[in-house]
Amino acid sequence: MEAILKNAKNWLTDFFDDKTKTEIQKLIDSNTEELKDRFYKNLEFGTGGMRGIMGAGTNRINKYTLGKSTQGLSNYLNQVYKDEQVKVVIAYDCRHNSDTLARTVAQVFSANGIKVFLFSELRTTPELSFAVKYLNCHAGIVLTASHNPPEYNGYKVYWTDGGQIVPPQDGAIVSEINSLSFEDIKFNADESLIELIDKKVDEAFIEASVKNGNFNAKGKDDFKIVFTSLHGTSITVIPEVLKRAGYKNVTVIEEQAKPDGNFPTVVSPNPEEPEALSMAIKKAEEIGADMVIGTDPDSDRLGVAVRNLEGKMEILNGNQAMIMMTKFLLDQRKKKGITGKEFIASTIVSTPMMDSLAKGYGVECKIALTGFKWIAKMIKDFPDQPFIGGGEESFGFMVGDFVRDKDAVTSTLLACEIGANAKANGSSFYKDLIDCYVDYGFFKEKLISLTKKGMSGAEEIKQMMIDFKDNPVESIDGSKVVVVEDYNTATSKNVITGKVTPIDIPKSNVLIYITEDGTKMAARPSGTEPKIKFYFSINTKLNNAADYKKVDAELDAKIERILKELNIG
């Protein structure tokens, strides 16, 4: 507690503004537990950058923690590109303080002699990624906390290729940041270096999105879509993209169309949560729509609901949407001719069905750590291999490489193309998914996410991972564990032979068990939220579409047995 109190008192010096000092002094005087949580650590970069609750303190998002990160990034950029005019582009979402924090970040960059392109209003994350390359910038920043609750905000850093920072840049930038004190931040802006941008970049991004996501599907006039932006940024672009691609029957949920950091109509603005799409699904049932699309606040992930075999709207999970989008892109590529050099991409906790698809089409499936920055890195590391598309289980997908992050804008258009084309051919998105299971195997996934807040929660998550490593699971639902992948040590152990082989992926705190029958379980603490996540994947053969319901029920029962056996959930 002594160290925490010392850190807190450092925020009472004249460098900090009066509002901050008053807030900290009040915590010192009366709220020991809150003070601990705000100062027991510094916010760190996770898989999605820096993200946290807003407020004063080292473990909070505020002008000083973001300012220090920006100062460190400025120093690094000026060292690496010392003979160039360094340029950065900044975007921000609908969250509280995003606009003012974006302005603060711009001021710090400009105070360090860096040219800043600042979006005049809120914009989507994929547009920011696109803008980095479009404007020939050295880096990009987006102020967002993605789908987190209203009290959160965050800061994602992008590099010259439009992808988020990866090694070695991330480590070098973090070292530079950690070498600084808050007093090193330069807040004295050079306004002549800050340029507001909007329509020109918007137009280029919209054109690129339509070009990459539009495949001239049949039946667009007869395909009804309900779209919700969930109070986020996608309202600025998705309706226009759909319109230009030829979709006329698009109903926007007006109650959720206005950007609002309070997200007043949902418990969580996360399309992974069924409740978030409930208003849109209700409207879809009322008007007989074919598809529902909902995006998170910064529009990098999307939720998709389509009509199931009974004609009711059903939300697809991220793996199902990813499989259908990838297969459609592969089909389109096949028409032009597949050379075998192409690749698709996914992550270590996503469905293994992606590998089955790749083998079926004669392309490679590259597997990365969680986070699209790793998929973007693959594109950069393998320039001779054309990237077709890829995604992850957490409702994210990337169409081609013109955006180097998950992109709900182009993916929304792609989902509509798949649905419209299927309907015009006398099928449906859902029926085509079942046919895919018949052709490539029936894979079913389940995610269990446990929230553990604060210092005690962080310790609990740490201990859970230690327990799984020290007391390894030997079997799952009667099937013997044959492989244990420990990404902390970057090793894969064959339990039967005892052979240990290296994993050629950067180290990460993830543990994966694989059994004889192909069941897969992964345990992973979140990099940006106080959560530990457990991912399950099971699979079997589906001989024909008529057996779908029966086999689906059998897989559901298997998952329930596994959860009960492992006491998770």
Spatial CA neighbour of 323 closest among 218, 228, 450, 443: 443
CA 83 vs. chain centroid, Å, equals 34
Pick the catalytic residue: 146, 350, 394, 508?
A: 146
Q: Locate the DSSP E strands across 363-460.
A: 364-368, 387-392, 396-399, 442-451
Q: Is there a contact between 408 and 386 (Cβ–Cβ < 8 Å)?
A: no
- Three-state SS for 447? strand
Q: Which residues contact 466 (CB under 8 A, 6 or more apart)?
A: none
Which DSSP symbol is given to 277?
G
The CA radius of gyration of the chain, in Å to the nearest whole number, is 24
Q: Which helix (H) or strand (E) holds 459?
A: helix 454-470
β-partners of residue 89 are 117, 140
User: For residues 41 and 137, what is the distance between their CA atoms, to the nearest angstrom?
Assistant: 32
Q: Is there a contact between 298 and 144 (Cβ–Cβ < 8 Å)?
A: yes
Tell me the residue type at 154.
G
Spatial CA neighbour of 292 closest among 427, 283, 300, 266: 283
Two tokens at 116?
A: 């800043």
User: For residues 309 and 311, what is the distance between their CA atoms, to the nearest angstrom?
Assistant: 5
Spatial CA neighbour of 146 closest among 259, 269, 294: 269
- Per-residue CA distances from 356 to 351, 360, 362, 439 (Å): 10, 6, 10, 9
Q: Active site includes 146?
A: yes
Q: Is there a contact between 50 and 69 (Cβ–Cβ < 8 Å)?
A: yes
Q: Is there a contact between 232 and 298 (Cβ–Cβ < 8 Å)?
A: yes
Active site members: 146
